[in-house]
Structure 1
Amino acid sequence: MRTVRVTVVLAALTGALVLPGVASATPSSGALAKVHTAGRVEVGGDSLKYSWPGVYFEGRFRGTGVGIVLDDSDNDYEVEVDGSTVATLVTPGRTTYWVNGLTRGVHRVRLVKRTESPWATSAFGGFVAAPGGAILGRPAARHRQIEFIGDSYTVGYGNRSDSRDCTADKVARTTDANLSFGALTARRLNADYQLNAFSGRGMVRNYNGSDPGTDYRTYYDRALLNVDGDVWQNPGTWHPQLVVIGLGINDFSTAINPGEPWTPDTLMAAYRTAYQGFLDKLRARYGPRTTIVVSATYMSNTTVFAQIAQQIVQERNSRGDDRIRYWYYSESGLDYAGCHWHPSVHDHRIIADRLGEFIATLPLRW
């Protein structure tokens, strides 16, 4: 399997050929009704629009080939057929990509957004069948649902990189949300999932004090991150039994700069207050049976993040909400070999292992 730009590429599926086509292979609006996605999407004409990393689309078709209608010049995608990756599409633009030469029969296709682009809106126009074939009814939604909320660690920032020194382009090309610990954990549990993660954002303070006046909560409710005031409308199908939050690294990992409106004490107080309010919001949205995990990890220059996260959970538990849990994972065994000392694919697999072990201890009803 090789990366696809605007070339013909042999895929890693026997006899398969991936051909960039033209945008004329546009599906009908009925084709979108045959697509399964759990991500935050908005319907816009004959396409589904979205911004968050890790959004995926799944379909079923009969025949020897399938086309994927896309309009996205900012992101990279993984294309899977019958569980195997057959192509990586790099900033494909407005086009239809074809996977042909498959064995005649019924197949499953999955398209997943690997990269992060909060400044852009992507569009997926559905799957189209090769001549003589047909798109079949949408795959069934999974009963289990997990929502991951976080920052660059949750995104999978630069996790495929072969070095810690990365340009902006290298970060984009080596970020793979499909191999983030959240995606790995969900797939192991056969769960649908959302990766609602935004690199550099904190609960109240962004990395190194950047973009003052905004934080993760500014964007959480949106489907389209670059559209001010946008609000994702839950179609009534998203009711996660589990929510995993990882916000705090950016709040506390860098020293407070001159001119920032914080002292160490006021930052901790603001973080605690904002976190409690965010938990109130999630509890009101998803109800009392959803288990919410407040996660924290090792930080080389401070332990305050983990301490406050644990205190927040203790406060909730003391008020009678025992479905908010604290999860800490250490740095043992992690190499942080991704871009800018972020977890590598190796690390994400280890974190997914540890998260899976922790989830097994939770009182989930799924």
Structure 2
Amino acid sequence: MVLKYISQPFLLLCLLVGFSPSHGLAEKLITADNPHIRYMGRVDLSKPGQAGVSWPGTQIDTVINGGELGITLDDQYGKNYFNVFIDEDWHTPIVIACEQGRKTYWISRYLSAGKHRVTVSKRTEGEEGRTLFVGFNVADKGKLFAPPKLPHRKIEFYGDSITSGMGNEAALYSGDAELAEKNSFMSYAAITGRKLKADYRLISQSGIGIMVSWFDFIMPQFYDQLDAVGNNETAWDFSLWRPDVVVINLFQNDSWLVEKRLNPVPSDSERINAYKAFLSSVRHKYPSALIVATLGSMDATRKTSSWPGYIESAVASLKAEQQDNRIVTLFFPFEDYGQHPRVFHHQRNAERLSAFIAKKMNWKM
């Protein structure tokens, strides 16, 4: 993947951001509530003229003409990164490094004549803050057109830093914490969604667990939110969007933390019951979805780990109690790499997961 990073200082030098265009073109802002802008993911559209974007992998799509493209964002902390793809060139994103506050990021002043599809994807996650998408900036005579419709297939992913893509673009054996190297678009989840031609959503947060997290809230308290910035009072309406498949990739952080942060330390049966309770909650929200309980590919799936067994026991118990045959397990193997998986790990796991789901759902890939 070829990356082109832009930020406000770079644009001032290279794209004349902040100056009137010297080539005589005027520009206008088309706001986020335009009917030709399409969203994929949990997006807060409660305020006119803007869209609250916080979950990793959230996408904004449109088609433009007019030769110019800018994107106006209002970022909470100045920590978020976004991919911008032109004409479905998924291998060559332009990457926006957000600054705090409202800024216009010029992607191009010189797009070729005709229509161009524009896709914006949030690389980072809720812990980097929310971003208000204000709108697209186009040439004065530019217009927006309806983008392609979202796919009919729907997949929702619940996960932690692995699902969010933390560190996936870092070099092998280097650190995992650089925000510029976190790219949810290249996580196993997003790759799987695209392979299966699905409308997908990543409900994920680095460091989160089912029983315990690196912070003071857990996934059962978090997964029902509209907004992904911390544990908050926003509520997602589950009736608005019902997935065909739900993938749960959790328990990695629990495996690290239960004996360090919980007192008393939960027993095996308590670990199984905690997972089972979360499964039951998801099943209640989505009575007919296929639920894939997975784990990996970090060390919670090493050969000596008990954690896949806890998941298998929870699934077996729930299936027996509810006569529910639409809950299955699939584990990603630990590949003796102790850090966050890199893009090539994600690609391998996406191949495994995509083939598994396609077979279970009788979907053609």
TM-score, L = length of structure 1: 0.85
CA distance in 2, matches of 1:159, 1:70: 25
CA distance in 2, matches of 1:111, 1:234: 24
Shift of 1:80: 0.3
SS of structure 2 residue aligned to 1:184: helix
CA distance in 1, matches of 2:286, 2:362: 14
Cα deviation code 1:49-103 (max 9, x no counterpart): 1321111111112232222121122201110010123411112442222323122
Shift of 1:149: 0.4
CA distance in 2, matches of 1:328, 1:313: 13
Residue in 1 that maps onto 2:283: 283
Shift of 1:138: 4.3
Matched AA of 1:239 = R
Matched AA of 1:152 = S
Deviates more, 1:241-250 or 1:134-143: 134-143
Residue in 2 that maps onto 1:161: 170
1:307 aligns with 2:306: no
Matched AA of 1:204 = M
Cα deviation code 1:16-39 (max 9, x no counterpart): x866459x95434642x3221221
1:269 aligns with 2:274: no
Call closer, same or farther: CA 1:306–1:235 in 2, change over 3 Å: closer
Q: Is the 8 A contact 2:73 2:133 kept in 1?
A: yes
CA distance in 2, matches of 1:260, 1:358: 35
Shift of 1:317: 2.6
Shift of 1:309: 0.8
Residue in 2 that maps onto 1:121: 130
CA distance in 2, matches of 1:274, 1:114: 30
Aligned counterpart for 1:327 among listed residues 290, 312, 330: 330
1:233 aligns with 2:237: yes
1:189 aligns with 2:220: no
Residue in 1 that maps onto 2:104: 96
Structure 1 gaps of 5+ residues are 11-16
Match runs of 1:243-262 below 5 Å = 243-254=246-257, 256-257=259-260, 260-262=262-264
Structure 2 gaps of 5+ residues are 20-26
Call closer, same or farther: CA 1:218–1:30 in 2, change over 3 Å: closer
Shift of 1:254: 4.3
Matched AA of 1:153 = I
Shift of 1:218: 1.6
Cα deviation code 1:141-180 (max 9, x no counterpart): 2111111100111111111112534374x2x111110100
1:203 aligns with 2:203: no
Matched AA of 1:166 = G
Q: Is the 8 A contact 1:50 1:123 kept in 2?
A: yes
Paired residues in the alignment total 342
Q: Is the 8 A contact 2:33 2:50 kept in 1?
A: no
Matched AA of 1:282 = V
Question: Percent identity, aligned pairs only?
Answer: 29
Cα deviation code 1:238-268 (max 9, x no counterpart): 22101100110111134613x7323251xx3
SS of structure 1 residue aligned to 2:30: coil
CA distance in 1, matches of 2:11, 2:33: 30
Q: Is the 8 A contact 1:52 1:118 kept in 2?
A: no
Q: Is the 8 A contact 1:59 1:127 kept in 2?
A: no
TM-score, L = length of structure 2: 0.85
SS of structure 1 residue aligned to 2:8: coil
Q: Is the 8 A contact 1:253 1:302 kept in 2?
A: no
Residue in 1 that maps onto 2:38: 36
SS of structure 1 residue aligned to 2:126: coil
CA distance in 2, matches of 1:18, 1:363: 47
Match runs of 1:73-84 below 5 Å = 73-84=78-89
Residue in 1 that maps onto 2:224: 221
Q: Is the 8 A contact 2:166 2:176 kept in 1?
A: no
